[in-house]
Every structure is written in C-alpha cells, then in structure tokens.
Amino acid sequence: MKSTEMGHLITAAMTDAGRSGKNNEDRFSITTYQSDTGDKTPVLLAVLADGIGGHRAGEIAADIVVKRVTEYIAQSREITPPSILIEAMHLASQEVYSSAAKDTRLYGMGATCVCVLIMGDCLYSAAVGDSRIYHMRGKSLQQITIDHTWVREALDKGLLRPEQVNNHPNAHVIRRYMGSRNPPDVDIRLRLSNNEQDEEMLGNQGYKLKSGDKIILCSDGLTDLVADHEILSTYQHMPIQDAMQYLINLANQRGGYDNITIIAIQVPEGIQQTKKKRSWLWGAAGIGFVVFSLLVFKTGLF
C-alpha cells in the first residue's frame, strides 16, 4: 500500500498520563494509505497499545507493537484483511517476547493491542487484551471487541454476577497479551449486538460503515472510570476532538489511576461507497478462513 498524507475519514487522537505519576505506557498510531489495486481504495489503519511492565518496559513493549503492526500492514498485499491483522499482531508479539528475553530489565513486559483497518467504507478489527473498540451510530454505542479479562470470562461462565464486578480483586487480570511466549489468540470477532454467536461475529468483518458513524479506540484508563453511556452522550454533543478532551478530564477528575488514550474516527457525510465487486468480502477463501479462525478460538490452538 502507498502511504498518503490525507485520509478519507476524520480522525483525532489524544493521550494523557493520568494522575498516578506513572510513565505514559500507551502508544498509538493512525496511518492513511491508498490501495495498490486499480481502484485505489483509500485505507486507514489505527493501532492502540497499552503497555504492561515496570521500569519503562511497558512503554517499550507498546512502542514495539504499534510500530511493527503498522509496518507489516503497510507492506502487505491486501489478501484478506483479518488474516493480515492476525499475522501483524503475531509478529509484533514475538518481537516483544524476543526483546524481553534478551534484556533482563525488560523481563515480563507486554501490551494490549486493538486495531481497526478501514478499507473504503469496510471495517475490520482485531484485539488482544482489554483495550476496547466501540462503534457509534446515531444514539447507539456498541463495544465491538470483547475484553480478554478474568472478570469477563467469569461473567460469561456464570461464575460472577454483574453487580460483583466493581472493585473485584481480579478486575485487571488479563488473559491475553502481546509478548507472550506463544502467539496470542488474536480476536477477530466483531460484535454488533450483545446476543450474537461467535460465527456471526466473525462474519461481521468487513462491516459497512455509514455517513456519521464513529469508531472509538481507547485504553482501559478511560473505561475503568467512564461508563459507556457517558462516552455516547459526550460524542453525541461534541466534536470528536472536544469530546476526547472532555472524557480524559472526566477520567482524571475521578482519580486518573492509569494512562488514558483515545482515538476517534468519524465517517464524513457523503463517503463514497465501496464498489460491490471490490467490497473486500472474502468469498470462498474468506469463508474457509472464518471457519479456521473459529476453530482456533474454540480449541485454543494458538
């Protein structure tokens, strides 16, 4: 893909160290491209990583993740977007692990990571950890990623009730991260409603965005202290840049216990719809990939 200076979507990003006094271990990137194919489809990639580890190791891990994912996707040949995202995140995770193995000061470092790849008006996503991606349309805000945390798993298995989540001692125990010994199970489920099954969520990749839609990526420094309905209300009433400053201020007023990073992407009015024959839906090869991905997710092969 060819890098471009101007993208087809409205974007804004902001990061804040919070009020805890810790280093800012969040890293992010927004990159715009033009497809190498004949129709020159505009492409946007957004990556956000939240570092884990002491003595600056977390910020080093997050920096590696963002740089390597961005570089790999920029050099890709656009076969199937979900497979590109998975491969990019696997390679970045392996580099984090290898770097930690070479330097005892970096032992145990890692990062969460969320990515969105928007080709024309088609949305693809991938996630590892507890940073989040939201899709906002009109008066509705939907978290399209699923938190990879002990608490989320306990809720799904009926071991916890929703009212038991707040202040739970395992609230920040993550179950997947970049930098693990084995490649992380990159989650490409794209959840458009809370009652969807895994097969449906996998099939949502390539979801068509509409004029006015917003995509919001954020680290848990925001979502630990600001509720979804507050995020929705803020973006309903403010431009995206003003909204993220307001939300960061709100998180800091409530303690600012962690770094806070937000990326916002908005589809402008009158976005050109992707041609049907170039919609990046996967066809026969993509169906096989979805089935394989679901098998990997359910069996834990990676």
Q: What is the pLDDT of residue 161?
A: 79
**Helical ranges in 172-264 per DSSP H:** 198-203, 220-223, 228-237, 240-253
Which is nearest to 90 in space by CA: 174, 217, 177, 204?
A: 177
pLDDT of 133 over the 80 cut: yes
Break the chain into its structural domains and give their ranges: 2-299
Query: For residue 292, what pLDDT is reported?
Result: 44
- Identify the three-state secondary structure at position 242: helix
pLDDT of residue 93: 98
Bigger pLDDT: 257 or 56?
Answer: 257
Residue type, 244: M
Candidates 62, 120, 11; CA nearest to 259 is 62
Q: Can you give the length of the chain in residues? A: 302
pLDDT reading at 276 higher than 80: no
Question: What's the confidence (pLDDT) of residue 286?
Answer: 46
More confident residue, 171 or 256: 256
Q: Tell me: the pLDDT tens digits for 228-249?
A: 999 999 999 999 999 999 999 9
Specify the amino acid at residue 214.
Answer: K
Q: 52-66, 117-131, 282-296: which has the highest mean pLDDT?
A: 117-131
Residues 6+ apart with CB under 8 A from 41: 34, 35, 119, 120, 274, 278
Strand partners, 174: 149
pLDDT at 264: 98
Q: For the segment 67-116, what is each residue's pLDDT rounded down to a tens digit?
A: 999 999 999 876 689 999 999 999 999 999 999 999 988 988 999 999 99
Residue-level pLDDT at 300: 41
Q: What span, in angstroms and rounded, lies between the C-alpha atoms of 15 and 89? A: 22
pLDDT at 283: 41
Task: Answer with the residue of higher pLDDT: 58 or 156.
Answer: 58
In whole numbers, what is the pLDDT of the chain averaged over residues? 87
CATH node for 2-299: 3.60.40.10
- Say whether pLDDT at 284 is over 50: no
| pLDDT band per the 50, 70, 90 thresholds, residue 297 | very low
Q: Give percent of the chain with pLDDT exceeding 70.
A: 87
- The Cα–Cα gap between 77 and 91 comes to 16
Higher-confidence residue: 292 or 170?
170
